[in-house]
Chain A
Amino acid sequence: MVWRTINGERTLLSTDPGQMLADQTGYWAFNLLIISLLFTPLSKWFRLRWVGYRRAVGLWAFAYAVIHVLVFYWLILGANLSSFGRELVQRPYIVLGASALFLLLLLAVTSNQFSMRRLKKRWKDLHQWVYLAAMLVAIHALWQIKGDWGWPMVQAITVMLLLGVRLWWVLQRRLSAAK
C-alpha cells in the first residue's frame, strides 16, 4: 500500500480505490470459492487429506464477498442507501451477485459442527448449493466485461469443469446403483 500526498490530500492504493478494491475483492472472493470447490476432487484423485481446510477457505471466500459489497456500497455508491437499493433491483448482474451472497451466507452460518450434526443428511444437500452460487458469481463477473475477457472467462470455465466432474460422479453412482 502506498500513501501519496497531493494538495494536502492523501490517496491510498489508487486514483480510484473504490474500483480497484471492488475488482480485487470480487476477483479473490471468486478464486477462493473455486479453491474450496477443488478440495473434494483433488482429495479423491491424489488421496490427500486436506478437506479439513475447506471450511476455512469457504469462509474466507464469504468474507471477501462481504468486503466486496461494503466497498461497492461505500466507495462506488458513496454510502447512498437509496442508490444501493436501486442498484440491487435494477442491475441484473448485481441481482445475481446478491443472490450468490445470500446463498453463501446460508452456507457460512451452517458451516459449523453443530449445524452439521443437526442437519445430518440435509447438510450435504444444502451445501451442494455452493455450485449454484459459483455459477451465479461466474455470470455476475462475465456480465461486467468490457473489452477484455481474461480472468472471468477462465474462472467460469473452471467452475463448469468442476461441476462437470461432480455431475459425472453422480451419474456413475446412479448407473452402478442401477445394476
Chain B
Amino acid sequence: QKVKQDWPQTVSTDERLTPEYDATHYNNYYEFGVGKDDPVRNSQDFRPDPWSVTVSGACNNPGTYALEDLLQTQNLEERIYRLRCVEAWSMVIPWLGFSLADMLQRFEPTSDAKYVAFETLMDPDQYPNQRSFRPAIPYPYLEGLRMDEAMHPLTLMAVGMYGEVLPNQNGAPLRLVVPWKYGFKSIKAIVRIHFTADEPPTTWNIAAPREYGFYANVNPNVNHPRWSQATERRLPSSFLSPNVIDTQMFNGYAEEVAQLYTGMDLRRYY
C-alpha cells in the first residue's frame, strides 16, 4: 500500500540504504518478543487501524484525535536517517513522515510544557510479551523528549518507510524517529502524548537506570556499562565484510543538534 506517490526528500545521505528486507525482518519490538525476528513473525495480525492518539497535559488542545485527523494537514517528507541501536548495530532507513514539531504545535503546548512524554499501546491480546508470564520490560512502553528536542526539525513522526506505510513490526501506524539518539528512544505505535513540566519516566531507564539514561544520545565516548559504543556493525554485515564502522558523535548529526546540549556533562546525562 503506497502512502502517496510523490513526496520531497528533505534529508538525504550518500550512505548505502539498508535493504528493506533487513530493516523489516531484523529489529527490536519487545511487545512482540525479544528475538530479532519476533516482531515480523508475531505482528502480522496487529491492527493499526482504526487508531487514535490521546493528547493531554500542558496544552490548549487536549483530546483524543483519530489518526486520520492527525495526518490530514501534514505534508509527508522522505528522510533518510542513520539508525543506531544501543546494542551497537546500525542501519540506514528512508522514513516517510513529518516533523514532530508541526504536529505538536497543533496542540498548542503551554509554557509549562518542558517535556513531552509518549506511550505505546497496551494490549496484551495483540502483544505476546505483554501477556507473557514474565514480561521482558515493564509495559506500556514509555518514552519522552525534552521540549526543545521534540521541536527540533530533525525529529520525525514517521508513518511509513521505503515508500510504503509502516509495517506492523516497525511501529505502525505512528512512530517516532529521533536520529541522533539510540533507537530505543524512537517509540513505536504511539497512543498517548502528554505535555509535562517534569522529566517523564522512560521504560529502559526504569528497567536499568545505570545503563540507559533519559537522553540516550549516540555517543562513542560514553560506553554502555557492559559494552563499547565506539563502533557499530552497519547491517547487513557478512562474513567477508563485518562492516564494523566508527560510531559518530550524535550519530553524525552533531552539527544540527550539539547546541541542544551545550554545557551539559554528557557522561552524567547519558
Contact = CB atoms under 8 A, between A and B. Distances in A.
B44 interface: no
A96 to B, nearest CB: 12
A4, A10, A17, A148 — most chain B CB neighbours (10 Å): A148
A142 to B, nearest CB: 12
B237 A143 contact: no
B244 A77 contact: yes
Contacts of A76: 233, 242, 244
B226 A15 contact: no
B2 interface: no
A86 B228 contact: yes
User: Main secondary structure on chain B at its contact with chain A?
Assistant: loop
Contacts of A19: 89, 233
Interface in B212-270: 226-228, 230-231, 233, 235-239, 242-244
A75 B239 contact: yes
B34 A12 contact: no
A6 B236 contact: yes
A16 B34 contact: no
Given A16-B26, A16-B236, A91 B242 contact: no
Interface string A36-75: 0000000000000000000000000000000000000011
B16 A7 contact: yes
B233 A144 contact: no
Interface residues of B, number: 28
A78 B136 contact: no
Interface in A5-26: 6-7, 9-12, 14-19
Given A6-B21, A147-B137, A148-B136, A11 B238 contact: yes
Interface residues of A, number: 32
A15 B25 contact: yes
A80 B231 CA distance: 11
A53 to B, nearest CB: 32
A131 interface: no
A18 B233 contact: yes
Contact of B242 (A15, A75, A90, A144): A75
A146 B22 contact: no
A121 to B, nearest CB: 41
